[in-house]
Amino acid sequence: MKLKIKDVEFSYASTPILKNVCMELQPSEVLGIVGPNGAGKSTLLRCIDRILKPQRGSILLDGQEVKDMSRMEIARRLGYVPQTSTRVFPATVFDTVLMGRRPHLGWRSNEKDVEKVLEILKLLGIMEFALRDFNEISGGQQQKVLIARALAQEAGVLLLDEPTSNLDIKHQLEAMDIIKKLVEETGISAVMAIHDLNLGSRYSDRIIMLNSGSIFDAGSPSSVLNPENIKQVYGVEAVVREEAGRPYIVPMKPIKPNGYEE
Ligand code: ADP
C-alpha cells in the first residue's frame, strides 16, 4: 500500500503544530520519524490515522483520501500502535489482540481469527500473558500487546508511535526484528516515530527529521543523521560513527544557549 502526504497542516486550537508536511511511503519500506520532544511526531501519526483532522493538505492511501474513509476502512488499511496508554478498559491480553481482527469480520470471531491471534502472541513471545488483564502487565508487555493488536489487523501500513520506548534492549531488538521481517516478507510498510536515533538508524530505510512541525531533512539514515543536523535540531554535539553500514550516534554534550562555551 502506498501512503502519500501532501502539504499537511495541523493546529491544536490556534497553535500551529504541523506545517507543510509532505512525504511518501512505498510498500516494504520502514520510514523513521525522528525529532526532539514536541516536534510533532505523534501529531503526524494521529493525523495519518485520522484521529486528528488536518486543517489543510491531503493524506492518500493508494490514491484514496483517508478523510473520505470510514473508521472501519481506515482500520483495514492502517494499524496504529499508540504510545502505551495508562489504563484502558479491562480486557485480557488475548481479547485485546483479538480486537485487532474486528475490521475484518464484524463482532463475531471464528476459528481462523483465534488461530491468527495465537500465532501473533507466539511470534511476539507474549503467549504466557494471554489470559492476564492488559492493565495488570508491565509497560513493556503492554507495548508488545499493542504491537500484536496492530499486526492482527493485517493492515497494509503500520503506524508506530515510539514502539520500543518501554522495552529493554533485548525486547527492543526482538520487536524491531519482527516488524522489519514482516515488512520485508509481506510487503507491508511502517511509519515509526522513534526517540532512539540508533534504533531509528538501524531499522529505517528512510528517515524524516521533524523540527517544530516542519520537515528539517529527509533521506537515508546516513544522509540525515549527521552531526550538523543533530546539532541544529537537538542542540546536541554528537559524534557519528558507522556500525554495520549505518550511522551510530554518540551524543557528547548539549550546546549551551547563546553560544556560551565552558
Ligand atoms: P512529539 O511526538 O514529537 O514529541 P507531539 O506531536 O506529541 O510531539 O506534540 C507536538 C506539539 O503539540 C507539542 O508542542 C505539544 O505540546 C502539542 N500538543 C500535543 N497534544 C496536544 C493537545 N492535545 N492539545 C494542545 N497541544 C498539544
Contact 137, 93 (CB under 8 A): yes
Q: Which residues line ligand 1 (CB under 6 A)?
A: 12, 17, 35, 37-43, 193
pLDDT in tens, the chain (262 residues): 899 999 999 999 889 999 999 999 999 999 999 999 999 999 999 999 999 999 999 999 999 999 999 998 999 999 999 987 656 678 999 999 998 988 877 656 688 889 999 999 999 899 999 999 999 998 888 989 999 999 999 999 999 999 998 889 998 999 899 999 989 988 899 999 999 999 999 999 999 999 999 999 999 999 999 999 999 999 999 999 999 999 999 999 999 776 555 5
**How many whole angstroms from 34 Cα to the centroid of ligand 1?**
14
Helix residue ranges, H only, the chain:
41-48, 71-77, 93-98, 102-105, 111-123, 139-152, 169-186, 197-203, 221-224, 227-234
All three cell numbers of 138, joined, read: 508491565
- Which ligand 1 atom is at minimum distance from the Cα of 161? 2
Dump the DSSP string for 38-81. TSSHHHHHHHHTTSS--SEEEEEETTEEGGGS-HHHHHHHEEEE
CA–CA separation, 54 vs 43, rounded Å? 10
From the candidate CATH numbers 3.40.50.300, 3.10.580.10, 1.10.645.10, 3.20.20.100, the one assigned to the domain spanning 3-254: 3.40.50.300
Take atom 27 of ligand 1 and give the residue whose Cα is closest.
12
Atom 16 of ligand 1: nearest residue by CA position? 38
Whether pTM exceeds 0.85: yes
> Are the C-beta atoms of 221 and 207 separated by less than 8 Å?
yes
What are the sequence ranges of the domains in the chain?
A: 3-254
Cα 38 to middle of ligand 1, angstroms = 5
The CA-atom distances, in angstroms, between 119 and each of 84, 115, 127, 151, 253 are 22, 6, 9, 10, 45
